[in-house]
Amino acid sequence: MEDLKGAIRVFCRVRPLSNSEKERGNFDCTTMDSFSISLEHEGTAKSYEFDACFAPSSTQEEVFEDTKRLVQSAIDGFNVCVFAYGQTGSGKTFTMSGIPAMPGVTPRTIEELFAIQARDAGKFRYKFQFYMVELYKDFLVDLMYQGNDDTRPKLTIKKDSRGVVYIQGVIIKDANSKEELNALIDMGTEGRHIASTKMNSESSRSHLIMAILIESTNLATNVSTAGKLTLVDLAGSERAGKTGATGEQMKEAQSINKSLSALGDVIGALTSGQKHVPYRNHPLTMLMSDSLGGNAKTLMFVNASPAEYNITETMNSLNYAARVKTVTNCSSKTVETEAIKDLKRQLAELKKKMR
């Protein structure tokens, strides 16, 4: 029923206690089953229910198993978004990217895309395109751009006629194999802003947004569908006292917290039924406007630390996620017949002649 009405699915994932947490004598304050998590704090327990809950022992394969169906949805022409949220050092990047020995959602998604392409080779023709940006200090940075900063193109967030977000000016690369797509991601990742903090040795100082644009053409009917699969690794919410952030890192943290606060305002407006949803208050909320209350099938991973040392941040994250779970989207797929394609070609030709 939730799939039918368009509710955003929320998966909770708790990482193991870190070495530094063990050294501090921290203990695990969480109790979990497949669909719920409880936090023990000062003699009282607070429980949350989600679409799935993954304990520290859960493998990357188990985490991806339910996510896999969304890859097929994107192939079928839907706008799909998977994003990770949580405090600094809670395991978001491990969930989304993983490590070579334990690949996360993004590399497994790419593997699945090209497995579907191979499976359907005799029935469908697929075209995959890719862009990758980071939102750093409220500015969009194209991670596919390889030139100097003086000639870096300005990026503008727009929406098409279906309400699907696109970025005007972004470099879009063709990806004809999983090796090509993974190489593009590696190239973009090298240009990201990261820094070491007390909470995380490689803390992301920006929000990462990757999109795979999918065109699928039925070889028998020549009918095409256009899907978009967006993968978002949000920078972590943090408190300066815990991370030890100063100077430039303090400014980065303030920018991150401001953007996440704006995202919270959007979620609050959607869940309370307000007529005005403040998507335009921040570039992050503009980027995610088709994923929250828009035209998308959306999955949120809320990542959390099990340590009682982080219980305030964990409760904030889980409260945030519980609100997201009540947001309803209206997802529909995009289909183009040969006649529509022909009309678009004619219109493009007319525009050329008029210039």
Query: Can you give the pLDDT at residue 192?
Result: 81
Residue closest to 129 by CA, chosen among 231, 213, 72, 227: 213
pLDDT of residue 6 exceeding 80:
no
Q: Whole-number mean pLDDT of the chain? A: 88
Where is pLDDT greater, at 17 or 161? 17
Query: Can you give the pLDDT at residue 276?
Result: 93
Please state which of the ranges 57-66, 103-112, 242-251 shows the lowest mean pLDDT. 242-251
What's the length of the chain?
355
Two structure tokens written together for 32: 């979990």
191: how many CB neighbours lie within 10 A of its CB? 14
Q: What is the pLDDT of residues 298-341, one digit of tens each?
A: 999 999 999 999 999 999 999 999 999 989 888 878 787 666 66
With H, G, I as helix, E, B as strand and everything else as coil, classify residue 165.
strand
Residue closest to 209 by CA, chosen among 261, 144, 269: 144
Domain count of the fold of the chain: 1
Query: Can you give the pLDDT at residue 241?
Result: 52
The torsion angles phi and psi of 342, rounded to 5 degrees, stand at -65, -40
Where is pLDDT greater, at 349 or 185? 185
Dihedral class, residue 89 (left if φ above 0, else alpha if ψ from -120 to 50, else beta): left
User: How far is it between the farthest Cα atoms of the chain?
Assistant: 75
Query: Can you give the pLDDT at residue 199?
Result: 45
Query: Can you give the pLDDT at residue 138?
Result: 86
Radius of gyration over every alpha carbon of the chain, rounded to an integer in angstroms: 21
Query: Can you give the pLDDT at residue 86?
Result: 94
Query: What single-letter DSSP state applies at residue 154?
Result: P
Q: Binning pLDDT at 50, 70 and 90, where does residue 29 land? A: very high
CATH number of the domain within which 241 lies: 3.40.850.10
Query: Can you give the pLDDT at residue 245?
Result: 54
pLDDT of residue 197 exceeding 50:
no
Lookup result for tokens 């593997």: 111
Contact assessment for residue 17 and residue 1, using Cβ atoms and an 8 Å cutoff: no
pLDDT of residue 211 exceeding 90:
yes
- The CA distances from residue 60 to 19, 99, 100, 118, 256, in Å, are 20, 10, 12, 23, 27
Query: Can you give the pLDDT at residue 147?
Result: 85
Lookup result for tokens 């699915």: 9
Distance CA 75, CA 256 (A): 32
Burial class, 258, CB count within 10 angstroms (exposed 0-12 / middle 13-18 / buried 19+):
middle
Lookup result for tokens 């503009």: 286
Q: What is the pLDDT of residues 31-71, one digit of tens each?
A: 999 999 999 888 889 999 999 999 999 999 999 998 999 99
- Type of residue at 284: L
Q: What angle do CA 339, 340, 341 make, to 5 degrees?
A: 90
Q: According to DSSP H, which parts of the chain are helical? A: 2-5, 19-23, 60-75, 92-96, 105-119, 178-190, 240-243, 247-271, 283-287, 311-324, 338-354
Where is pLDDT greater, at 315 or 241? 315
Query: Can you give the pLDDT at residue 90?
Result: 93
Q: Region 88-95: what's the mean pLDDT?
A: 93
% helix, strand, coil for the chain, step of 5: 35, 30, 35
Where is pLDDT greater, at 249 or 329? 329
Q: DSSP for 261-327, please give it.
A: HHHHHHHHHHHTT-S---GGGSHHHHHTTTTSSSSSEEEEEEEE--BGGGHHHHHHHHHHHHHHTT-
Query: Can you give the pLDDT at residue 4?
Result: 42
Contact assessment for residue 130 and residue 175, using Cβ atoms and an 8 Å cutoff: yes
Query: What single-letter DSSP state applies at residue 328?
Result: B
Q: Which domain holds residue 203?
A: 2-354
Query: Can you give the pLDDT at residue 244?
Result: 55
Please state which of the ranges 39-43, 96-100, 106-110 shows the lowest mean pLDDT. 39-43
